[in-house]
Structure 1
Amino acid sequence: LNWVVRSPTNAAYKLPDNWDYLCLLCFYRISQAVANEQVYQSLLINIDQTGVLLNPGGDMHTYDKKGVKQVLTLGKGEKRAFTALLGITGEGDLLPSQCIWQGVTSGSLPLQRIRQPLEDLGHRFAVNPSKNRSHFSTLNSMMEYFKDIIAPHRQRSIEKHGLNDDAKCIILLDCWSVHTSEPFLEFTRTLDWLIVIFVPARCT
């Protein structure tokens, strides 16, 4: 099964009693939108955020001489983390990632010499300057993701596959507070080529 011992990170949501019906409706919405708008598979995109802990800590082990009393390591207790926003298309292509770090300036990001090769491939790094010291995605970072990653990908797909200039793009999102906020939805409505479909709440 390829299982490993893991520590729980957070409590699992309770699935809605009618989760199977809700997910079926979501599938129908996607199917109908694809059929009505003739959406090409490279423009059917599922995106989601995941937290990445640089040093997991906790029950951390390393090697040292048998019998020593003190085992030294760098970064023990380090809780630094970032949020990776990832997207994958209906063709199975992974889009460039957006990595969000807590901080105010680029000094909070990995060194430029480390970022540059990744940025050359289209990956993006951003900071979250919120006062709660969070590395989570924000309204601004979500808007940047659509402008810097989704829109260029759509344009490349249009050119590569000979699609119409007004080709629609479906984005599948989970029901997270930033995604469902009115400012974000208002922003998505300014993109006339975009169709947003939400995965039913507590079903991801």
Structure 2
Amino acid sequence: LGWSIQRGTKAAQKAPDDAAQQCYKLCLRCAFLIEFHTIPAACIVNSDQMQLAFQFGGNTTWADHGAQQVPVLGKEEKRACTVVTGLSMGGTLLPFQSVWQGYKPKSLPFSGRANDPVLHPSQAAGHLFTLSKTRTYWSTLETMQVYVDDLLAPYLRNANQHTGRAPQADCVWVIDAWKVHRGEPFRQWMSDTYPWIHLLFVPAGCT
């Protein structure tokens, strides 16, 4: 038949032509805030989110030898969650938030039972297991609010106090340009609820 095993193909993400200039401007904004507000390294946090797949869909199929475009049926049929991480410039790794598809606790690992011998140590360490309450496992406005309320803001308050500053002294939070992050509802909520946390974005296509 002239077939051979082929990997599925898709267009690669392309960095913008002015990526270097956009990243330079981000550095300038960050440097200005640090200098103007005398912000210590512990009070500057960079967060990212990534897919954590624990049951993969297929990535290969039989296709014509030399084929340039290879669709793979079932490639997206996988089980995964989104993990939101945070690292301070001072080197402190914040607890993780994992976002799970579903509406009820049974959609969480071990059905979200706080006394589960496997789940309990993770929760005791501060890690969050959050339901998306949607049909996907991607971060939403609500899950990001949980992350800020329960992880980021408490960490920054403690970091401020440990460095001899007021609990709500100015801090910097650098995150990627995910559509939820850049959306007006989240930015307005941050401005209203945490005006002391300055939000900066890594330019789109530059992560």
Match of 1:67 in 2: none
Q: What is the CA-CA distance between 1:160 and the residue it aligns to? A: 2.0
1:110-129 equivalences in 2 (<5 Å): 110-111=109-110, 112=113, 113=116, 114-129=118-133
- Counterpart Cα distance in 2 of 1:87 and 1:183: 22
Match of 1:63 in 2: none
Q: What is the CA-CA distance between 1:58 and the residue it aligns to? A: 3.2
Q: Which has the higher strand share?
A: 2
1:100-139 equivalences in 2 (<5 Å): 100-111=99-110, 112=113, 113=116, 114-130=118-134, 133-139=135-141
Match of 1:174 in 2: 176
- Asked if the contact 2:83/2:96 (under 8 Å) is kept, the reply is yes
- Counterpart Cα distance in 1 of 2:9 and 2:99: 20
Query: 7-16 vs 49-58, which deviates more?
Result: 7-16
- Counterpart Cα distance in 2 of 1:178 and 1:40: 28
- Counterpart Cα distance in 2 of 1:155 and 1:184: 20
- Counterpart Cα distance in 1 of 2:79 and 2:53: 6
Match of 1:3 in 2: none
Q: Quickly say closer, same or farther: Cα 1:166–1:8, change in 2 above 3 A.
A: farther
Structure 1: tracts of 5 or more residues without a match: 1-6, 61-76
Q: Quickly say closer, same or farther: Cα 1:167–1:25, change in 2 above 3 A.
A: same
Q: TM-score, normalised by structure 2?
A: 0.81
**Percent identity among equivalent residues?**
33
Residues 4-41 of structure 1: CA deviation (Å, up to 9, x unaligned): xxx78964321111111111111111111110111111
SS at match of 1:54: strand
Q: TM-score, normalised by structure 1?
A: 0.82
Q: Quickly say closer, same or farther: Cα 1:101–1:183, change in 2 above 3 A.
A: same
- Counterpart Cα distance in 1 of 2:167 and 2:8: 46
Q: What is the CA-CA distance between 1:166 and the residue it aligns to? A: 3.2
Match of 2:81 in 1: 82
Q: Quickly say closer, same or farther: Cα 1:163–1:35, change in 2 above 3 A.
A: same
- Counterpart Cα distance in 1 of 2:52 and 2:41: 29
SS at match of 2:55: coil
Aligned partner (choices 190, 204, 207) of residue 201 of structure 1: 204
Match of 2:48 in 1: 48
- Counterpart Cα distance in 2 of 1:108 and 1:52: 16
Match of 1:13 in 2: 13
Structure 2: tracts of 5 or more residues without a match: 1-6, 61-75
Match of 1:163 in 2: 165
Q: How many residues align?
A: 180
Q: Quickly say closer, same or farther: Cα 1:120–1:8, change in 2 above 3 A.
A: farther
Q: Quickly say closer, same or farther: Cα 1:95–1:8, change in 2 above 3 A.
A: farther
Q: Quickly say closer, same or farther: Cα 1:92–1:16, change in 2 above 3 A.
A: same
Q: Quickly say closer, same or farther: Cα 1:151–1:103, change in 2 above 3 A.
A: same
Q: Quickly say closer, same or farther: Cα 1:49–1:8, change in 2 above 3 A.
A: farther
Q: CA RMSD in A?
A: 2.0
- Counterpart Cα distance in 2 of 1:9 and 1:40: 45
